[in-house]
Amino acid sequence: MSSIRSGKRIRSLEDINVRATRAANSFLAMGIYAGDVVALMLRNDFPFFEATYAANLIGAYATPVNWHSTAAEAQHILEDSGAKAVIVHADLLPAIEAVIPKDVHVFVVATPPEIAAAYGFEPCAVPSGRTDWDEFVEEGDPYPPEAGEPPQSIIYTSGTTGKPKGVRRAAPTPEQAASLRTLLTRGFFPGMAPDEIVTIVAGPMYHSAPNAHALFAGRMGCRIILQPRFDPEEMLRLIERHRVTHIHMVPIMFNRLLRLPDDVKDRYDLSSLRHVIHAAAPVSQPIKRAMIDWWGPVICEYYGSTETSMVTFCTSAEWLAHPGTVGRATPEARIEILGPDGQPLPAGEIGEVAARNLMLADFTYHGDDDKRRRAEKRGLLVPGDIGYLDADGFLHLCDRATDMIISGGANIYPAEIEGELHKMPGVADCAVFGVPDEEFGEAVMAVVQPQPAADLTEAAVRTYLRGLIAGYKVPKQVVFANDLPREDSGKIFKRKLREPYWAGRERNI
CA distances from 482 to 141, 260, 447 (A): 53, 19, 10
Q: Is 482 exposed, middle or buried (0-12, 13-18, 19+ CB in 10 A)?
A: exposed
DSSP label at residue 344: B
Level-2 CATH architecture, domain 9-147? 3-Layer(aba) Sandwich (3.40)
Give bridge partners of residue 335 from the DSSP assignment: 355
For residues 402-412, average pLDDT:
86
Taking the C-alpha atoms of residue 274 and residue 251, their distance in angstroms, rounded to an integer, is 18
- Element holding 432 (H helix, E strand): strand 427-437
pLDDT, tens only, 357-384: 998 888 888 888 888 888 899 999 998 8
Reported as a pLDDT band with limits 50, 70 and 90, residue 280 is: confident
Quote the pLDDT of residue 372.
87
Fold of 173-296: Rossmann fold (3.40.50)
pLDDT at 400 over 90: no
Write down the pLDDT at residue 466: 92
Domain boundaries, the chain: 9-147, 173-296, 405-502
**Alpha-carbon separation of residue 363 from 23, 178, 306, 380 (angstroms):** 27, 18, 10, 12
pLDDT for residue 149 is more than 80: no
pLDDT for the residue 506: 65
The answer to whether residue 386 scores a pLDDT higher than 70 is: yes
Tell me, yes or no, if the two domains 173-296 and 405-502 fold the same way: no
Is residue 199 over pLDDT 90?
yes
Check whether 162 has a pLDDT greater than 60. no
For residue 332, pLDDT beyond 90: yes
pTM value > 0.85: yes
pLDDT in the model for residue 495:
84
For residues 195-203, give the mean pLDDT.
Answer: 96
| C-alpha to C-alpha distance for 206 and 218, rounded to whole angstroms | 16
Q: What is the largest CA-CA distance in the chain?
A: 70
pLDDT, mean of residues 45-54: 97
Cβ–Cβ < 8 Å for 448, 427: yes
Average pLDDT, the chain: 92
Rounded Cα distance, 471 and 478, in Å: 15
Q: Residue 147 has what pLDDT?
A: 66
> What is the rounded distance in angstroms from the CA atom of residue 436 to the CA atom of residue 444?
9
Instruction: Tell me which H or E stretch contains 376.
Output: strand 376-377
What pLDDT shows up at residue 153?
75
pLDDT in tens, 247-266: 999 888 998 899 899 999 99
CATH of domain 405-502: 3.30.300.30
Q: How far apart are CA 85 and CA 282, in angstroms?
A: 35
3-state class (DSSP) for residue 400: strand
Q: How far is CA 170 from the centre of its chain?
A: 21
Q: Which residues, listed in sequence order, are joined to residue 6 by a DSSP beta bridge?
A: 9, 226
Task: State how far the Cα of 471 lies from the Cα of 73, in Å rounded to an integer.
Answer: 40
Q: How far is CA 96 from CA 297, 370, 488, in A?
A: 44, 30, 20
Contacts (Cβ under 8 Å, ≥6 apart) of 351: 337, 338, 339, 340, 345, 386, 387, 388
3-class secondary structure, 353: strand
Report pLDDT for 150: 67
pLDDT tens across 490-509, in order? 678 888 899 899 887 766 55
Q: How far is CA 459 from the centre of its chain?
A: 35
Parallel/antiparallel/unpaired status of strands 427-437 and 441-450: antiparallel
Nearest to 41 by CA among 20, 58, 63, 56: 63
Nearest of 282, 281, 232 to residue 259 by alpha carbon:
232
